[in-house]
Amino acid sequence: MHNGGRWIEGYGCHINVLISMKIIMKNFGDFLSSRPSGKEAYLSAQAYIFPSKDEADMIELDFEGVKVLTPSWADEFVTPLAEQWGNKLHFLHTDNLSVKATLEFLKQIPIA
Amino acid sequence: MKELIPQIQKAFDWVSMDNGVGFLLPDEHCPTRDIFQARADKLVIECASDRSIGENAYLLGLVIGEIGNNTFDHNLGNWRDERGAYFVYNADQRMVVIADRGQGILATLRQVRPSIADDCEALTVAFTETLSGRAPERRGNGLKLVAKVVQEQQWKLEYRSGCGTYVIDASASACTMADDGLKGMVAILTF
């Protein structure tokens, strides 16, 4: 049975594991607003944070502590990640009203 | 529009005058995006501590952020004279006013869709379609979510650019044309 993870050898058998990378979005700021800021965050994360698909099976964006997320910022950061990772991109702590509204809104925009 | 409220009148006066340099007070004027964003963030923090606003302050930050950043996205280096945005908050009226002396919506959208007939059509496109004057950059969706949030929260947004005023409230969104044109933009959010 294979659930999309990777097989590793351990304890005398093969184990299927899923490796997820969690990205703490508050590290980019409490207020995630404007396209230039989102783009800069994405480029920086691309250089130093994002895993390759060899290194991780999924990415989790954790929005705990984020106060404002605008669609412009998210379109520069989240949209390209969604294009690369598809349904392997997950979101955590999306209760904040602006985070929820923005992520739901982005889902409706067709990805080119 | 409530033209008797001083902050609104000042926005229209500034945008309408021949030369806008030096008219605004330092705490009203955001010459750069960073200054605007810092003041917007501060406003959100203040509103979030107001029990009557609460977590809706974060949606307020979304709306203000999108409108204010558009000023810089579409006018950077291309201001008529005074750069940046006028940005004020009237606590009694629960009102935010943002204005700029930029190109206006019609001019920016005609860059990519020359067939747009007038300011009202341009405003309607801006708030309902994913189209940006900065095409082929993939952008142009922010004001759609602004409209959605304003309607769902039963706020009111009056967005004037050129001869057109686009009004969004809980019941509807519609654009009306005035005889006199405004070079730039004035946005009034009541929440």
Task: Write out pLDDT tens, residues B64-112.
Answer: 999 999 999 999 998 999 999 999 998 888 999 999 999 999 999 999 9
Q: Is the separation of the CB atoms in A30 and A68 below 8 Å? A: yes
A38 has pLDDT over 70: yes
CA-to-CA distance for A95 and B127, rounded, in angstroms? Answer: 26
- Asked if B141 is an interface residue toward chain A (Cβ–Cβ < 8 A), one would say yes
Chain A residue numbers touching B75 (CB-CB < 8 A): none
Is the bond leading into B31 cis (omega within 30 degrees of zero)? no
B29 has pLDDT over 80: yes
Q: Is B69's CB within 8 Å of A69's CB?
A: no
Query: Domain B6-16+24-190 class?
Result: alpha beta
pLDDT of residue A109: 63
SS3 B60: helix
pLDDT of residue A6: 82
Average pLDDT in the B142-168 region?
96
Average pLDDT in the A20-46 region?
97
Residues of chain A whose beta carbon is less than 8 angstroms from a beta carbon of chain B are 30-31, 33-37, 67-72, 75, 96-99, 101-102, 105, 109, 112
For residue A25, CA distances in Å to A61, A67, B105 come to 6, 11, 33
Average pLDDT in the B30-50 region?
96
- pLDDT tens for A2-16 read 556 788 777 778 888
Q: Which of A25, A28, A98, A108 to mutate to test the interface with B (most CBs of B within 10 A)?
A: A98
The better pLDDT of the pair B51, B2 is held by: B51
B150 has pLDDT over 80: yes
CB pairs under 8 A between A and B: 81
A110 has pLDDT over 70: no
CA-to-CA distance for A35 and A42, rounded, in angstroms? Answer: 10
- Nearest-CB residue to B145 (from A31, A36, A101): A101
Q: Would you place residue A27 in the very low, low, confident or very high pLDDT band (cuts 50, 70, 90)?
A: very high
Return mean pLDDT, chain B: 93
Does an H or E element contain B31, and which? none
Q: Which of B53, B58, B153 to mutate to test the interface with A (most CBs of A within 10 A)?
A: B58
- pLDDT tens for A51-106 read 999 999 999 999 999 999 999 999 999 999 999 999 999 999 999 999 999 999 99
Residue ranges covered by each domain of chain B = 6-16+24-190
Rounded to a whole number of angstroms, the distance from the CA of B157 to the nearest CA of chain A is 17
Instruction: Centre a 10 Å sphere on the Cβ of residue A64 and count the other Cβ atoms it contains.
Output: 13
- Asked if B44 is an interface residue toward chain A (Cβ–Cβ < 8 A), one would say yes
pLDDT of residue B170: 93
Q: Which residue has the tokens 């959208």?
A: B109
B33 has pLDDT over 90: yes
B131 has pLDDT over 90: no
pLDDT of residue B92: 81
Return mean pLDDT, chain A: 90
CA-to-CA distance for B97 and B6, rounded, in angstroms? Answer: 11
Q: Would you place residue A1 in the very low, low, confident or very high pLDDT band (cuts 50, 70, 90)?
A: very low
Number of H helices, E strands in chain B: 6, 7
Q: Which of A28, A32, A34, A66 to mutate to test the interface with B (most CBs of B within 10 A)?
A: A34
Question: pTM for this one?
Answer: 0.91
Cross-sheet strand order for the sheet of B173-177 = B29-30, B85-90, B95-100, B185-190, B156-161, B164-168, B173-177
Instruction: Centre a 10 Å sphere on the Cβ of residue B16 and count the other Cβ atoms it contains.
Output: 15
Chain B residue numbers touching A67 (CB-CB < 8 A): 44-45, 48, 58, 61
Q: Is B61's CB within 8 Å of A75's CB?
A: no
CA-to-CA distance for B129 and B131, rounded, in angstroms? Answer: 6
Q: Which residue has the tokens 């204005």?
A: B99
- Asked if B58 is an interface residue toward chain A (Cβ–Cβ < 8 A), one would say yes
Q: Is B58's CB within 8 Å of A96's CB?
A: yes
- Asked if B143 is an interface residue toward chain A (Cβ–Cβ < 8 A), one would say no
Positive or negative, the Cα torsion across B164, B155, B97, A100?
negative
Q: At what angle do helices B142-152 and B119-128 cross, to 10 degrees?
A: 80
